[in-house]
Amino acid sequence: MRGDVEHWRQALDATLLPTGSLRRNAGGAIMSLPGYSDGAWWVQDAAAAMPAMLFGNVAGASVIDLCAAPGGKTAQLAAAGARVTAIDRSPRRVERLNANLARLSLRAECLVADATQWTPPEPARFVLLDAPCTATGAIRRHPDVPHLKTPDDVTRLAAVQERLLAAAVEMLAPGGMLVYCTCSLEPQEGVQQVTRLLARGARVERRAIKPEEIGGLRECLTADGDLRTLPCHLADYDGLDGFYAVRLVRV
C-alpha cells in the first residue's frame, strides 16, 4: 500500500487491520478495483507482510531479498525507501517480479541466481529469506493443501531451507540482520531450522520481536520471540495465514 491509507480504506471498502494491512471482502476483479492500474497497492496476506516489517526503518538502506518472486516483500521494502536487490533462481518468476514492480512504479535490482551460490558484492546489513516451503500455512485459503503435501515434501524442502539459511547467514556483515520466514505450519520448516542453525555454531543470535512491531499481536509471538501466526489469529477479521519468522543478528 502506498499513499493515504484512510483514502484507500474508503475507496476499497476495506478494513484496516492492526498490522497496517487493508482487507476487503472478496468479490470483483482485482484489476478493476480503484488504484490497481495506478500501482497504488498490491495483494499480499497480512501475515506475509509482517516479516519485512521486522527490519524497522530501511529508508536509504540496502536490503537483499532472497527467493523474492513474485515480489510482495520486495515491493514493501522498496516502498519503504530501501535499495533492494531481489534474487530468484527462476527466470520466469523474475519476469513476473519485474512486471509487478513496473506496475507499482517501484525500483529494485532483480537478478536471476541461485541464492545458495550467489554472493553479494559486499557483506549485507539486511537480508530477507522467504524460503520455498510446503505452504501449509495457506490452509485457510487453500483447504486442499494438506491433501497435496506429503511428509517427503517437508523433508525435501527442509533440506533446501537449511542450505538457503546457511548461505544467507554468510551474506551478513557483522551486526547485520537476517529475517528468515516460511508460510508453513511445519516445525521442520520453521523453528527447527533455527535450532539446528544455532546448534551448528552459526555466528548469529536471536533478536526477539516485540508486540508493538506487529500491531500489538502478542498472541503471534513465541516464547523465544519469534513470529508464529496461525489461521485462527485475527479471527474477527477472517484470520491470518500461518507464517513463521525469526530475526537473527550476526555476532
SS (H, E, C) 89-124: CCHHHHHHHHHHHHHHCCCCEEEECCCCCCCCCCCE
Ranges 3-7, 71-75, 121-125, 226-230: which has the least confidence: 3-7
pTM for the predicted model, two decimal places: 0.95
Confidence of residue 167 (pLDDT cuts 50, 70, 90): very high
42-250: CATH number: 3.40.50.150
Cα atoms in the Cβ-side hemisphere of radius 13 Å centred on 96 = 12
pLDDT at residue 26 above 80? Answer: no
Q: Which amino acid is at 55?
A: F
Confidence of residue 145 (pLDDT cuts 50, 70, 90): confident
Q: How far is Cα 41 from Cα 43, in angstroms, rounded to an integer?
A: 7
183 catalytic residue (yes or no): yes
Q: Which of 67, 133, 181, 183 is catalytic?
A: 183
DSSP label of 150: -
pLDDT at residue 232 above 80? Answer: yes
pLDDT at residue 178 above 80? Answer: yes
Q: Residue 146: what pLDDT?
A: 81
Q: Residue 193: what pLDDT?
A: 98
Q: Residue 25: what pLDDT?
A: 83
* C-alpha 212: how far from chain center: 18
Residue with cell 487453500: 142
Is the backbone peptide bond immediately before 70 cis, with ω within 30 degrees of 0?
Answer: yes
Cα atoms in the Cβ-side hemisphere of radius 13 Å centred on 231 = 11
Which cell numbers in the block locate residue 20?
497496517
Cα atoms in the Cβ-side hemisphere of radius 13 Å centred on 240 = 27
Confidence of residue 1 (pLDDT cuts 50, 70, 90): confident
Q: Find the mean pLDDT for residues 35-40.
A: 93
Confidence of residue 49 (pLDDT cuts 50, 70, 90): very high
Listed by start position, the domains of the chain span 1-41, 42-250
Q: Find the mean pLDDT for residues 62-81.
A: 97
